[in-house]
Structure 1
Amino acid sequence: MENSRRDGDEGWLTRERMLAMILILITGLAFYLCYRLVYPFLPALAWALALAIITYPLHRTIKRYLPSESVAAGAAVVIVALIIVAPSMLLAQRIALEATQNIELVKTEAAINRWQAVIERNRRIAPVAGWIDKHFNPRQETVRFVEQIRSHIPGFVTGSIGVGIQLLITFFALFYFFRDRYAFLHLLRSLSPLSHAETERVFARVVDTVQATVFGTLLVAIVQGFLGGIMFWWLGLSGPVLWGVVMGLLAIIPILGPFVVWVPAAIMLAIDGDWGKALILTIWGGVVVALIDNLLYPIFVGGKLRLHTFPVFMAIIGGLALFGASGLILGPVVLAVTVALIDIWRYRTAAGRKADTDAAA
Structure 2
Amino acid sequence: MNERETNPAGTPIANEWGSRGHVQTLVLMAATVLGIYLCYRLATPFLSALVWALALAVLFSPFQRWLESKLKRPGLAALIAVLVVALIVVVAATFVGQRLVHEAAKGAEIIKTKVESGEWRRALESHPRLAPVADWMERQNLPGTVKTVATWMTTTGSSFVKGSVVELIGLLVTFYLLFFFLRDRLAALQLVQSLSPLSEAEMDRVFDRVADTVFATVYGMLAVAAMQGLLGGLMFWWLGLPAPLLWGVVMALLAVVPVLGAYVVWIPAALFLVMQGEWGKALILSVWGGVVVGTIDNLLRPILVGKRLKLHSVLACMSVVGGLILFGPSGIILGPVILMITVVLLEIWRSRAAAEATARVESAELSRLENDGGPVAPDLGIPFPQQPKSSRVSPGDAVGGKHILCGTLTKLKS
- Give the TM-score normalised by structure 1: 0.77
Per-residue Cα deviation, 1:245-270 (whole angstroms, up to 9, x for no partner)? 567656877xx985897599579859
Q: Is the 8 A contact 1:94 1:241 kept in 2?
A: no
Which residue of 315, 340, 357 corresponds with 2:319?
A: 315
Structure 2 unmatched ranges of 5 or more: 359-414
1:43 Cα offset (Å): 1.4
| Number of equivalent positions | 350
**C-alpha separation between the residues in 1 aligned to 2:88 and 2:106?**
28
1:50 Cα offset (Å): 0.7
1:55 Cα offset (Å): 1.5
Which residue of 303, 308, 317 corresponds with 1:304?
A: 308
Q: Is the 8 A contact 2:213 2:309 kept in 1?
A: yes
Relative to structure 1, the CA distance from residue 282 to residue 30 in structure 2 (aligned partners, 3 Å threshold; closer, same or farther) is closer
**C-alpha separation between the residues in 2 aligned to 1:240 and 1:142?**
28
**C-alpha separation between the residues in 1 aligned to 2:92 and 2:308?**
29
Q: Is the 8 A contact 2:98 2:161 kept in 1?
A: no
**C-alpha separation between the residues in 2 aligned to 1:185 and 1:43?**
21
- Structure 2: which amino acid aligns with 1:171? F
Relative to structure 1, the CA distance from residue 273 to residue 83 in structure 2 (aligned partners, 3 Å threshold; closer, same or farther) is closer
Deviates more, 1:224-233 or 1:172-181: 224-233
Whether 1:139 and 2:140 are equivalent positions in the alignment is: no
1:107 Cα offset (Å): 2.8
Q: Is the 8 A contact 2:232 2:251 kept in 1?
A: no
Q: Secondary structure at the match of 2:309?
A: coil
**C-alpha separation between the residues in 2 aligned to 1:248 and 1:76?**
21
Relative to structure 1, the CA distance from residue 151 to residue 92 in structure 2 (aligned partners, 3 Å threshold; closer, same or farther) is closer
Q: Which residue of 2 aligns with 1:207?
A: 211
Relative to structure 1, the CA distance from residue 243 to residue 117 in structure 2 (aligned partners, 3 Å threshold; closer, same or farther) is farther
**C-alpha separation between the residues in 2 aligned to 1:112 and 1:264?**
20
Question: CA-atom RMSD, angstroms?
Answer: 4.3
- Who wins on radius of gyration, i.e. which is larger? 2
Q: Is the 8 A contact 2:214 2:333 kept in 1?
A: yes
1:82 Cα offset (Å): 1.5
Q: Is the 8 A contact 1:251 1:258 kept in 2?
A: no
**C-alpha separation between the residues in 2 aligned to 1:37 and 1:195?**
30
**C-alpha separation between the residues in 2 aligned to 1:152 and 1:273?**
27
Which residue of 195, 198, 201 corresponds with 2:202?
A: 198
- Structure 2: which amino acid aligns with 1:50? A
Relative to structure 1, the CA distance from residue 352 to residue 67 in structure 2 (aligned partners, 3 Å threshold; closer, same or farther) is same
Q: Which residue of 1 aligns with 2:352?
A: 348
Relative to structure 1, the CA distance from residue 319 to residue 64 in structure 2 (aligned partners, 3 Å threshold; closer, same or farther) is same
Per-residue Cα deviation, 1:292-317 (whole angstroms, up to 9, x for no partner)? 87998699758323333333333333
Relative to structure 1, the CA distance from residue 202 to residue 293 in structure 2 (aligned partners, 3 Å threshold; closer, same or farther) is same
1:182 Cα offset (Å): 0.9
**C-alpha separation between the residues in 1 aligned to 2:287 and 2:157?**
35
Q: Which residue of 2 aligns with 1:78?
A: 83
Q: Which residue of 1 aligns with 2:70?
A: 65
Per-residue Cα deviation, 1:9-68 (whole angstroms, up to 9, x for no partner)? 724342211101101111122222222222222211211111111122211221221111
- Give the TM-score normalised by structure 2: 0.68
- Structure 2: which amino acid aligns with 1:71? L
**C-alpha separation between the residues in 2 aligned to 1:260 and 1:98?**
11
Q: Which residue of 1 aligns with 2:412?
A: none
Structure showing greater relative contact order (alpha-carbon pairs closer than 8 Å, 6 or more residues apart): 1
Which aligned pairs between 1:7-156 and structure 2 lie closer than 5 A? 10-110=15-115, 113-127=118-132, 129-130=133-134, 132-133=136-137, 136-149=140-153, 156=160
Relative to structure 1, the CA distance from residue 233 to residue 48 in structure 2 (aligned partners, 3 Å threshold; closer, same or farther) is farther
Identity over aligned pairs, percent? 45
Per-residue Cα deviation, 1:118-140 (whole angstroms, up to 9, x for no partner)? 2222233334x246426644223
Which aligned pairs between 1:220-299 and structure 2 lie closer than 5 A? 220-225=224-229, 228-229=232-233, 232=236, 235-237=240-242, 245=250, 249=254, 262=266, 269=273, 272-273=277-278
Q: Is the 8 A contact 1:98 1:239 kept in 2?
A: no
**C-alpha separation between the residues in 2 aligned to 1:340 and 1:112?**
65
Relative to structure 1, the CA distance from residue 13 to residue 136 in structure 2 (aligned partners, 3 Å threshold; closer, same or farther) is farther
Q: Which residue of 1 aligns with 2:328?
A: 324
Deviates more, 1:188-197 or 1:102-111: 102-111
